[in-house]
């Protein structure tokens, strides 16, 4: 084959041999330079490579490669890389989700003062993800994140503070009730008063009467001013009006569908509910990573409550086996 034919063949094959990725020349050059620096184990370069792979800048987007380079930078103490690696393990981005690994790397980054890592570590403590639930530690970390300038932590500080205050009030009331109960037992023993029987309720009728509230707001998963409910046999089904919630800079609109079941004359019953998101309004110029797992439509998360009537106008619930709620009307 002569030289002319060889050159012609090369030009014919060039389009087929060209890489699939085509991108910005400036970023491609930056990627090449960063790769050279990374080979010398430069922590900043290692982190930058992870960021380029994550965002698809100068190279095709590859979350697995991003996690690899973040891991190399995190191992050298780079706080942002440690955060990115922890978040990857928490969300399963380019790696298999692993809450223990997520906690390890988020804790390392948070200890170095990175406010976003402090936020997600606080979230793990608040919800008991891979660690024993600890609202006081969650509050401490949320405050650090807020004071570091991470705005989504502002509402979290308020929420956890209210939860702790409410729990303290519940504990106080429980101690008072136990004290009164102990005194009553002592009095009955002294005067030989017969042991009273447990109260009986027409629980279904009491619940469907509605008006149930928590913290002076109508409840979306029980009969209240914001729900339409009906009885189906021994169960109650409720659908709420549209609700709005702000998470950081993101506004979410949703309604709630709930079922009250296993209703007993002792006042005990259970609630199961899920949320249906109809709109997510996130400001494009703000960091909305705190809500990036929320999609439109019915959410996968199903909330479960174990409840008991204390009186005809007061009840107590345990939500998701962790949070104690006081509900009145």
- What is the pLDDT at residue 9? 43
- What is the pLDDT at residue 89? 97
- What is the pLDDT at residue 174? 77
- What is the pLDDT at residue 153? 95
| Half-sphere exposure of residue 219: CA atoms within 13 angstroms, side-chain side | 22
- What is the pLDDT at residue 38? 87
250 by Cβ neighbours in 10 Å (0-12 / 13-18 / 19+) ranks as: buried
What is the residue-level pLDDT of the chain in tens, covering all 329 positions?
554 444 344 333 434 433 445 568 899 999 999 999 988 889 999 999 999 999 999 999 999 999 999 999 999 999 999 999 999 999 999 999 999 999 999 999 999 999 999 999 999 999 999 899 999 999 999 999 999 999 999 999 999 999 998 888 888 877 777 877 777 777 666 665 555 666 788 899 999 999 999 988 899 999 999 999 999 888 999 999 999 988 877 889 999 999 999 999 899 999 999 999 999 887 765 565 655 567 888 888 889 999 999 998 999 999 988 889 999 98
| Cβ-contact 309, 315 below 8 angstroms | yes
- What is the pLDDT at residue 7? 36
| Rounded-to-integer distance, Cα 103 and Cα 160, Å | 20
- What is the pLDDT at residue 306? 95
- Could you tell me the two tokens for 205? 């009728």
| Rounded-to-integer distance, Cα 38 and Cα 74, Å | 13
- What is the pLDDT at residue 177? 79
| Cβ-contact 81, 48 below 8 angstroms | no
Residues 6+ apart with CB under 8 A from 193: 187
| Rounded-to-integer distance, Cα 122 and Cα 116, Å | 10
Strand stretches in 95-153, DSSP E = none
Domain annotation for the chain: domains and CATH numbers: 16-157 (1.25.40.10), 201-280+297-329 (no CATH)
- What is the pLDDT at residue 282? 77
Q: To the nearest 10°, report the CA torsion of 188, 192, 193, 197.
A: 90
Strand stretches in the chain, DSSP E = 213-214, 217-218, 227-232, 235-240, 243-247, 250-261, 268-282, 297-298, 303-311, 314-319, 323-328
| Cβ-contact 323, 307 below 8 angstroms | no
| Cβ-contact 168, 161 below 8 angstroms | no
| Rounded-to-integer distance, Cα 223 and Cα 216, Å | 14
Provide the whole-model pTM. Answer: 0.48
Instruction: Please identify which residue in the block is written with the tokens 């380029």.
Output: 52
| Cβ-contact 51, 67 below 8 angstroms | no
| Cβ-contact 203, 263 below 8 angstroms | yes
Cβ neighbour number for residue 224 with a 10 Å cutoff: 21
3-state secondary structure of 27: helix
Q: Report how far apart, in Å, the C-alpha atoms of 169 and of each of 126, 130, 160, 164, 213 are.
A: 19, 28, 14, 9, 17
- What is the pLDDT at residue 109? 96
């Amino acid at each position: 084959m002569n030289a002319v034919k060889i050159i012609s063949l090369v030009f014919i094959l060039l389009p087929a041999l060209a890489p699939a990725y085509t991108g910005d020349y400036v970023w491609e050059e930056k990627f090449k330079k960063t790769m050279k620096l990374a080979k010398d184990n430069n922590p900043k370069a290692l982190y930058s490579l992870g960021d380029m792979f994550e965002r698809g800048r100068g190279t095709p987007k590859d979350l697995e490669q991003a996690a690899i380079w973040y891991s190399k930078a995190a191992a050298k103490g780079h706080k942002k890389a440690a955060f990115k690696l922890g978040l990857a393990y928490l969300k399963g981005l380019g790696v298999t989700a692993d809450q223990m690994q997520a906690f390890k790397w988020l804790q390392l980054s948070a200890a170095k003062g990175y406010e976003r890592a402090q936020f997600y570590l606080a979230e793990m403590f608040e919800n008991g993800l891979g660690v024993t639930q600890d609202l006081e530690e969650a509050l401490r970390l949320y405050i650090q994140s807020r004071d570091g300038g991470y705005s989504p932590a502002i509402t979290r500080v308020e929420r956890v503070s209210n939860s702790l205050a409410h729990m303290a009030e519940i504990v106080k009331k429980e101690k008072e009730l136990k004290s009164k109960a102990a005194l009553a037992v002592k009095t009955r023993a002294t005067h030989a008063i017969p042991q009273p029987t447990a109260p009986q309720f027409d629980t279904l009728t009491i619940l469907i009467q509605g008006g149930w509230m928590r913290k002076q707001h109508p409840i979306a998963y029980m009969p209240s001013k914001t729900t339409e409910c009906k009885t189906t046999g021994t169960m109650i089904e409720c659908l709420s009006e549209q609700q709005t919630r702000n998470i950081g800079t993101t506004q979410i609109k949703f309604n709630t569908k709930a079922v009250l079941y296993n209703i007993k004359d002792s006042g005990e019953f259970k609630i199961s509910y899920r949320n249906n998101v109809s709109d997510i309004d996130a400001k494009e110029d703000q960091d909305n990573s705190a809500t990036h797992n929320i999609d439109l439509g019915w959410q996968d998360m199903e909330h479960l409550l174990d409840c008991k009537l204390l009186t005809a106008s007061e009840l107590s619930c345990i939500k998701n086996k962790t949070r104690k709620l006081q509900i009145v009307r």
